[in-house]
A and B are shown apart, each in its own frame.
Chain A
């Protein structure tokens, strides 16, 4: 929308300039302007992507929750359930509509950018803010802080999802980091750029499923296709996260949460979701799984608790799947991961009843068991991640052709 300015993505010159500008501002005497500048840079990024109609749609998404949050700010005893529920429903419905989920049809009068400039991350921040507004009265809140929090350029496109408390305390620390910390952050930013934009694309190209249909494709090629995409996903996403966390740290903001903790070393799917996209996992746990399971457990007798927990897991993972993409593939992805957690839980309980708590722990600590668990978990994640870039029809067709060529069908 800004004439001549190309869309600002993390690997663009414009993003680098925004980052350098904000770092220099944080280091200079003008740091009192930092909050306003943070909001302004986010707005510049948004305007670089969007048409006026998209901006109008975004305003519908942003303004009502701001008004509600402002009204509820610090009012712990206000009767706000109806207002909160209406706001959450409005936001979720508008989100589903703007993101063009396949089951709601096309919002054809809108250009696409409104759905891809991190709308889902904005949604998380907004819901968090509205739901927690009554409890956050001890923190300052106004339109400038709201804009800076929602549109902060470092988390605008792909997170991590920062809580308002962490944002506020991080803003208090804006300034120049120590030389040591600045160098470490610079190092991390460069590493992130290399991971996300130099190495990751190699694996993206290699993950092309249709290439399995080529003459001469072997099991090695199948392995490359299956493993290449999760490797790409990790390098790209964690590289991006490294860049934004490093930029924030160079500005003195040290409270951006980490998103990854060696996820492919996880020993089961539950462990995996504690290491992969951690700020997202925390949000889902805090705002979906815990309240839902608490409500279901309270309303049922202990004999049903196992089933209620399983339902809570499935609901949480359907939401996780749907959040990742707009097609039914992603729901299937979520269901498969939810199912794996339930199976893992049943297996854990069975193991415990057979071996007892102490022997179970010792068994799970055995290096061979740990290695096997990691191998199985990674392969399960890799196999389910095939659903990300490919439709189920494409997967079945291509795999059918491949297995026929190998003489298996």
Chain B
């Protein structure tokens, strides 16, 4: 009995391995691009995009996208770098970087067609404070743009930055070089390599999935393939195999409630606005060019019916919740501090009959980027008026 079981296991492993090898070599050799190493520790401060990268990305609705970075680690091709750095600098997080859209589809790249070539200095996962460091580094290295635009995706970019204001003044490079000294002695190498092995051990279902997607062509193909077939996509959604983005909200509910000084999340609004206002002062002082903020909405903010699904699913009908409050609040606070703001929600809502965000992660799809690019171009044409295209009709 044991022998038979052993042989069945061997056959199972052998056939599974054969399938994996065939998928790796013939059917889905691009599997390594499912979760590539995209980041490097930038000299001086925070992680950044890997310079000179050419990375394939996959996301349902937009498969097989090539993402390029130039020699400075900014989104786009090397040949455009000089022109882009002399144009507008567009800072931000993942939505601005455009993780799952082609280089030319990102709104910063589309601005060129409107006469505003732009360097997309955004980094996937960066907060405002991280981007402050990126911008300061560019300023210190002597580059000069026509203007600086900071793009915020409310809610995720709204953080309590009161403990991170030093990013405006800290010496660039100090923290990094200190860390380097700490980590290179043999005993540190030994400790770090031991810990690295320890951290390789998956500790959750999610980390097993992460490992599979990095290392298995078969799993990656199934994941991408299933998501590409509408009926299977719907099935995975209805059976709970895949998270329904509409039903998720990250962070506290307070950010959805009326926002005033009594709200525990109020510091997220005010400290974000404070940090941005000080960044604007720094840009104007050091560069003498205009500075403005672009507000990008989340999918709950664009599609109220999807937010209603979230509310109904979680039994929150009796709560006074509105995802657009944070958008209006940060816009208002920025205007109050003299920072020109463009809220892109009205422009997106106007054309939101079709899908404008990825179904699984809420980032803007190419159509969404195109609308944002048009709105930003009109705003720049108008001289960056404060509070442009405000989120009218939102209860406070």
Contact = CB atoms under 8 A, between A and B. Distances in A.
Interface of A: 4-6, 13-14, 16-17, 20-21, 23-24, 27, 176, 179, 182-183, 198-199, 201-203, 205-208, 211-212, 214-217, 220-222, 224-225, 228
Given A5-B25, A27-B7, A228-B190, A211 B185 contact: yes
* Closest 5 A/B residue pairs (Cβ): A206-B190, A4-B25, A20-B14, A221-B186, A205-B193
Contacts of B194: 202
Taking residues whose C-beta sits less than 8 angstroms from the other chain, chain B's interface range is 20 to 34
A199 B25 CA distance: 29
B10 A205 contact: no
B17 A211 contact: no
B197 interface: yes
B181 A216 contact: yes
A179 B6 contact: yes
B20 interface: yes
B208 to A, nearest CB: 17
B186 A206 contact: yes
25 contacts: A4-B25, A13-B24, A17-B17, A17-B18, A20-B10, A20-B13, A21-B14, A179-B2, A179-B3, A182-B3, A182-B6, A202-B194, A203-B190, A205-B190, A205-B193, A206-B189, A206-B193, A207-B186, A211-B186, A211-B189, A217-B186, A221-B186, A222-B186, A225-B186, A228-B186
Given A13-B20, A203-B193, 13 more contacts: A16-B17, A20-B14, A20-B17, A182-B6, A202-B190, A202-B194, A202-B197, A205-B190, A206-B189, A206-B190, A214-B185, A224-B187, A224-B189
A224 B95 CA distance: 46
Contacts of B20: 13
A4 B21 CA distance: 10
A176 B3 CA distance: 10
Given A17-B18, A17-B21, A216-B181, A23 B10 contact: yes
A224 B188 CA distance: 10
B62 interface: no
A400 B193 CA distance: 26
Contacts of B25: 4-6
A143 to B, nearest CB: 29
B189 A208 contact: yes
Contacts of B186: 206-208, 211-212, 217, 221-222, 224-225, 228
Contacts of B192: 205
B354 interface: no
Nearest to B3: A179
Nearest to A224: B186
B26 A4 contact: yes
Contacts of A4: 25-26, 29
A24 B18 CA distance: 13
A208 B185 CA distance: 9
Interface of B: 2-3, 6-7, 10-11, 13-14, 17-18, 20-21, 24-26, 29, 181, 184-187, 189-190, 192-194, 197
Contact of A224 (B2, B13, B24, B190): B190
Given A5-B25, A205-B190, A217 B6 contact: no
Contacts of A228: 186, 190
A216 B18 CA distance: 50
A6 B185 CA distance: 35
A207 to B, nearest CB: 8
B221 to A, nearest CB: 15
A225 B3 CA distance: 46
A122 to B, nearest CB: 26
B185 A217 contact: yes
Nearest to A180: B2
A66 to B, nearest CB: 31
Residue among B3, B18, B29 with the highest chain A CB neighbour number at 10 A: B3
Contacts of A220: 187
A181 to B, nearest CB: 11
In this complex, the member of B6, B185, B186, B197 whose beta carbon has the largest number of chain A beta carbons within 10 angstroms is: B186
B54 to A, nearest CB: 20
A217 B11 CA distance: 52
B33 to A, nearest CB: 16
Contacts of B26: 4
A220 to B, nearest CB: 6
Nearest to A221: B186
Contact of A202 (B7, B17, B193): B193
Contacts of A21: 14
Contacts of A17: 14, 17-18, 21
A183 B185 CA distance: 42
A182 B193 CA distance: 33
Given A17-B17, A202-B194, A214 B184 contact: yes
Given A4-B29, A27-B7, A13 B17 contact: yes
A14 B17 CA distance: 8
A221 B26 CA distance: 47
